[in-house]
Amino acid sequence: MNTRDTSPPEGTANAFKGKTGLQRILNAFHYSMAGLAAAWRHEQAFRQESWLALILVPTAFFMPASGLGKALMVGSVLLVLMVELLNSAIEAVVDRVSLDQHDLARRAKDIGSAAVFVSLVNVPAVWALVLFG
C-alpha cells in the first residue's frame, strides 16, 4: 500500500462521511442550504434565474393547463436552477484546480454553460407545447 494513499481501506466507510441516520439527513440539509446561499451570494446568473423562477413558477399555476402540464412547466423552470447549480460547481472546481488557461478547463466551463443554455431553451419550448400544443 502506498504511504500517500489516504483512501479508507476497502469495505470501510469514508471517514469524512461520519454521520448516519437522522443526523446525516440534517447535515445534508445544512450543506444544501449553504450551497444555495453560496450560489445566491457568488453567482449572478443564479440570482437572475431565481428571480425568473419566482415569476414563472406561480404563473404556471394560473395557466390553463392540466396538472401534468403545470408540473412540466414548473419542472422546466426548476431544471434551469439545477443545471445552473451544477455549472457553478464545475466552474468553482476548475478555478480551484488552476486559474491558468487550459483547453480542458475551457471545455469543461463551455460545456457547463451549454447545458445551462439548453435548459433555458427548454423552458419556452415546454411552456409553448403545454399551452398551445
Whether residue 12 is predicted with pLDDT greater than 70 in this model: the reply is no
pLDDT at residue 6, rounded to an integer: 56
Contact criterion met (CB below 8 Å) for 123 and 77: yes
Q: Which domains does the chain have, with CATH numbers?
A: 43-132 (1.10.287.3610)
pLDDT at 76: 98
Confidence band for 5, pLDDT divided at 50, 70 and 90: low
Band of the pLDDT at 122, cuts 50, 70, 90? very high
Catalytic residues: 84
pTM: 0.83
Given this model, what pLDDT does residue 20 score? 82
CA dist 130 and 19 (Å) reads: 44
Cα–Cα distance between 34 and 61 in angstroms, integer?
29
Looking at residue 19, its pLDDT comes to 78
